[in-house]
Structure 1
Amino acid sequence: MSDSQRFPVAAHALAYLAHKGAYDAAHAAPSAILAASVPTNPVVIRRVTALLAKAGLIATRPGASGGSWLLLRPEEIRLDAVLKAVNGCAHLGSAPAGAKGCPIGEHIPRQVGKVLTLADQAASEALSRITIADLLAENAPALAGLAVHGACTEAVRASGLILA
């Protein structure tokens, strides 16, 4: 799975667990069920849930009767913590190494690196105001006035689902 997909998969999985009331081992959701909801492969889900468990957002139990459940209420899980849990960033790329001896090639990578840091900080700050509960809400104030991201809009249209 690409780095850019870990965050959306993690947010989806956490929202699914909250929606299904998976707050203890007795109500754990198996990776196959989470994978069907995303949709992705259960191995992808297990990789993401391992990161979420390491961050203390969920617990997991392996095996045939295993699965994942939330350790926090959805209103307590902020999306910046989710992004951090899956080692995510704003995914604007990284500055390529410049050509040695070229004044621009030696200068620009440092400057672009600073811009990428600024973008990551802005993304983290924006995500800190949104929770998993907001993702589940029909009209969450934290998401008011926002449009669906262009790439997401195309993916939803291609899937045949209707955008609200």
Structure 2
Amino acid sequence: MSDSQRFPVAAHALAYLAHKGAYAATEAEPSAVLAASVPTNPVVIRRVTALLAKAGLIATRPGASGGSWLLRRPETICLDEVLRAVNGCAHLGSPPAGAKGCPIGEHIPRQVAKALTAADQAAGAALSKITIADLLEEDPEVLRAFAPHPSCPNADAA
């Protein structure tokens, strides 16, 4: 899975768990079920849920009767936490080291790294106002002013 898909898959999985009321091990949703909702491969889901579990947003149980469940209510999970859990804006890449002795090569990587930090902070600030519960609403106030991102396969249907 590309880095650029981690955040959307993580947000989708958390929203699905909230929708299904999966708040305990007895209500765990298997990775195959989550994968069918995205749709993606269960391995992709397991990689993302491992990151979400490490961040303390969900718990997981392996095996045939395994799955994932939320550790917190959806209205308390902000999307900036989800972004951090899946390693932030890492999908924007990282600057190459640059050539030693080249004034541009020695300068630009540091400046690009700062720009990436700015992007991470801006994304975090915007996403800190949106919760998993907001994603489940038909037309939440916090998202009302925005059109779907052009990369969304359902952008035209909105």
Structures share fold, TM-score greater than 0.5:
yes
User: What residue is the counterpart of 1:142 in the other structure?
Assistant: 142
* Separation in 2, partners of 1:98, 1:61: 44
After TM superposition, what 4+ stretches of structure 1 lie above 6 angstroms from structure 2?
Answer: none
Cα offsets for 1:36-69 (capped at 9, x unmatched): 0000111111111111111111111111111111
Amino acid at match of 1:163: A
* Separation in 2, partners of 1:50, 1:101: 42
**Unpaired runs of at least 5, structure 2:** none
* Separation in 2, partners of 1:85, 1:116: 17
Which one is further off, 69-78 or 105-114? Answer: 105-114
Q: Is the 8 A contact 1:57 1:72 kept in 2?
A: yes
Offset of residue 139 of structure 1? 1.3
Provide the secondary structure at the position in 2 that maps to 1:51.
helix
User: What residue is the counterpart of 1:112 in the other structure?
Assistant: 112
Report the RMSD for the aligned CA atoms in angstroms: 1.5
Offset of residue 163 of structure 1? 1.6
Amino acid at match of 1:100: K
User: What residue is the counterpart of 1:163 in the other structure?
Assistant: 157
* Separation in 1, partners of 2:40, 2:131: 23
TM-score when normalising by structure 2: 0.93
User: What residue is the counterpart of 2:51 in the other structure?
Assistant: 51
Q: Is the 8 A contact 2:7 2:83 kept in 1?
A: yes
* Separation in 1, partners of 2:6, 2:31: 15
1:12/1:81 CA distance change after superposition, 3 Å: same
Provide the secondary structure at the position in 2 that maps to 1:11.
helix
